[in-house]
Each structure stands twice: as C-alpha cells, then as structure tokens.
Structure 1
C-alpha cells in the first residue's frame, strides 16, 4: 500500500515548554493535517498557562544552521515563521527564506495570548523585510496596531490576514487583504473559552501546511480556521490560566 507524500513544512519559531503554542503547537498542527513537520528553534521559553517566566534567544548562526540542514537534505514546501527572539535572528531568517522561494506564512508574534511580551522594538523593526518576503502575514488586533494599522500595511503592499480573535463581540471577523484584490471576510460565532493559548501559532502553521499541499490562499485560510475552531472546542482543560487547545482531538 502506498501513502501520499506529506507536504514538508518548516516551523521557524520559539519553543513553548507548556506545549500549547510555539514550535510544539506547530508540530501538532502540521502533523494532524497530514504534513511532515520540521523545526528551526529561535528561542527557548519557560512557560505554562499562567505566563512566561524566562526567555532565551538561540544564537542566530544556530538558527541558520537548522534551516540549512532541513533545506539541503529533506526539502521544504512551505515555511511558518513565529517568535524570533532577536533582530539578528529576524535578519538571518530573512536571508534564508529569500533564497528558498517557497510559500511563507509570517505570524508577527509580539505578545503571547497570556500577555507576555515576546518581541522588543528592535525585533519588531526587523519584521519589515519578513513581511515583504512573506506570502501572508497574520497579525492579531494588537499586533496590527503595533505595525501601524491597515494604512501602514497598505503602504507596504503586503498580503495580510487581520485576525479578529482579540476583538470584542459575539462574532469573530477575520479579514484577508491582498493588494489589487477585493477584501475577503470570514465571520464565525465566538467560542467563549479561557483555553485559547496558541491560536495564532496553530492558525499560521495550518495555513502553511495547506499552502504546502497546493491549496490557494483563501482555501488554506478556510481550512485552517476550521481546524482552529475544532481544536478550541476540544480543549482538554489543562492549567489554571490560559489553557492549550485540543489539537490531538482533531482526527
């Protein structure tokens, strides 16, 4: 019996010791969606559902070596970028993805769902080149504000998905803006839960997996949104704070 070759997806992001977000959420998402997950770890965090207690950035040369090792042997069909850890890492990641020429989903992680800051101003400044190279950038409400809002994103001429999970109200609106194309909107009833840690990581890695499989951008977003909602509904209830989602149950 032959099996279909899984799409190869590289996650370039930080590690979450609590397993709810970051590299750990990406591996779960890519695997559950039928992809082959690879990683380039940019930072180590000590965190759980209550918050982040420590962050250590990885040496930029080591981040580059991880990317090179995957690209030179296994190959890469799509890339997801999350927490970077330092301006130097942002620069080296941009160097590598510029040469790889594959779909890239950039989640401009600045603040964790639990409120912990995960990027300093210098790192955020380094996001400019990554946004220009990315197929799609996926800011949440506060991240979009930090990036200058819709006006600044339009001036950059980049495609982005403005996520509405951090907004208020009974309906979540996600808005896809692609230069030269009509704005595409998705609306879904809000799932009221405190177990939403890793939603952004999960969405971006799911989009990357679908792009790696050959789906177009809108199809990839639709499938990724459905995956996130199913994982939210299947949250196991772990932890006393902002708990993880139930990636495992989305079979």
Structure 2
C-alpha cells in the first residue's frame, strides 16, 4: 500500500483542502495521511474564518508521520504563513520523497489563504524542493511578479519558476479567456514541454479544483507512474470531477471526486506537443 500525505488547511465544507485531498487519495487507492496547517470556517458561499495551527504543533504532526510511515509522496496546499512554510521546508528538505506544491493563495470567494509576507518564503524555502508546482494563472503571476495574458507570458513565467529550482511546472490555464477549451501548460527543467486541452465546462461548481488536481497528481506519482503520465491522468481526474459535478450548496460547489472511477474509460483530455 502506497502512503502519501497532504500538508494543508481544513475545509469545513469538504470541497477543498485536507478533505478534498483525502477523498482523492481514497479514490485512487493510496493511503492518505495529513498535517493540518489551519482550520477554516467555510462553505460553498465563502470563508468566514481562518485559525492557523501553532507552528510547533504542525512540526509535531510532520514528525509523527515521518517516524512511522514510509511516505511515497508529499503534497502541500494552504500553508498560510512564512513561519509555517519555513518549518515544513526544514523538515522535508533532506527527504528523497517527491514533493507536489499547490501554492494555495486565494479561496474561490476571494479570501486570502496565504499571508503576503509568506510569498517570498514560498519562493525561497519551498519551491527549490518541489518536484512539481501547480499554480493557476493568478498564483503564477504572484510568484513571478509578472502579468500573464498570453501563451508567451506563461512560458516566461514557467522559466522564472524553474530557475527557482522547481523540477516541473504545471500552469493551469483556466483563467485565460477561451470560451471553448481550458488548457494547462507543462514545463520540465530539461526543456520538455506539452499542453493538455479539455472542453471548458459551464459550471460554478469548481471549489477545490486546484486541491483535487494536485492530490490526484500526488497519488499517481506515489503509484509509480512516470511524471508525464501522472500529470495527464491527474488532468483527466479533475476534468471528470468538474464535468460530473455534484451541485451541492448555494455558492461555488465542490467537484465530484467519484467521477473518475465511474468514468475511467472516457478520456476528455487531449495532449498537445509543444
């Protein structure tokens, strides 16, 4: 049994964060463990409160996992503060375990989930450790300090992030203006690039898409899939989850974590070579 962990915040509404990650792990046959960095009071309408966990207790959670479980992959999500980022980085920097970094910054309702002072800490301490970084367009803009409005801008942003030490960058293009397709762009530090194109779904139920995609990627990497194949399968997982949404709640509802298993024979993702 492959064992993975997610280091992230708790979503009381169940659509994102720790809850979404563990659901995804379960669906993909890996055993999920967790380190909770913050509690949030939220539902599909938004976040009404954030309570960060004491840094020393976050450290205890990580140590408890490392002393007992042979982890096959680690994923980070909402890390909230510079101090949390630094303590996480210090504990995992010498581990030869794939690290998937989802740079969670803003909730669907617009609430900040990463303090401004933590952005530089993310660049300095965590990104150099990342096997894969999975920002959306706004997150990539914050991390690079550059506006992204075109494919050329995406390429330049990826190059900037790879220079920080990231081995692979997946820049999710859902925020780009394209009425027909949502395209994600993948860049490796060896120069290899490709993109993944999927039909854009007209739905408001996209809460937790970033968490779910990166959790699926974590699970596939833990299972031993080659990195490129793991990225493509994770894209299929989230595309299915968006396509067959659950229509839960009165705001931005969650995706459907069951959909990939129930529709595995259907591929709605096209891989395009650079």
Q: What band does the TM-score fall into relative to the shorter chain?
A: over 0.9
The aligned residue for residue 229 of structure 1 is 239
Q: Which moved more, 1:27-36 or 1:226-235?
A: 226-235
The aligned residue for residue 205 of structure 2 is 195
Question: What is the deviation of 1:249?
Answer: 4.0
The aligned residue for residue 58 of structure 1 is 53
Please state if 1:132 is matched with 2:128.
yes
Q: Answer yes or no: is the 8 Å Cα contact 1:20–1:243 preserved in 2.
A: yes
Give the Cα separation in 2 of the matches to 1:234 and 1:64: 38
Give the Cα separation in 2 of the matches to 1:88 and 1:243: 31
Give the Cα separation in 1 of the matches to 2:91 and 2:215: 18
RMSD: 1.2
The aligned residue for residue 13 of structure 1 is 8
Counterpart selection for 2:100 from 94, 105, 126: 105
Runs of 4 or more, structure 1, over 4 Å off, are none
Q: Deviations over 1:194-237 (max 9, x none)?
A: 10100000000111111111111111111111111111122211
Q: Answer yes or no: is the 8 Å Cα contact 1:28–1:247 preserved in 2.
A: yes
Please state if 1:212 is matched with 2:222.
yes
Give the Cα separation in 2 of the matches to 1:184 and 1:68: 37
Question: What is the deviation of 1:85?
Answer: 1.8
SS in 2 for 1:18: coil
Give the Cα separation in 2 of the matches to 1:198 and 1:33: 17
SS in 1 for 2:67: helix
Q: Deviations over 1:4-63 (max 9, x none)?
A: x2x111000000000000000000001101110000000000001111110011011111
Give the Cα separation in 1 of the matches to 2:26 and 2:160: 35
Q: Answer yes or no: is the 8 Å Cα contact 2:236–2:260 preserved in 1.
A: no
The aligned residue for residue 145 of structure 1 is 141
Please state if 1:34 is matched with 2:29.
yes
SS in 2 for 1:187: strand
Q: TM-score, normalised by structure 2?
A: 0.87
Structure 1, unaligned runs of 5 or more: none
Structure 2, unaligned runs of 5 or more: 147-156, 262-274
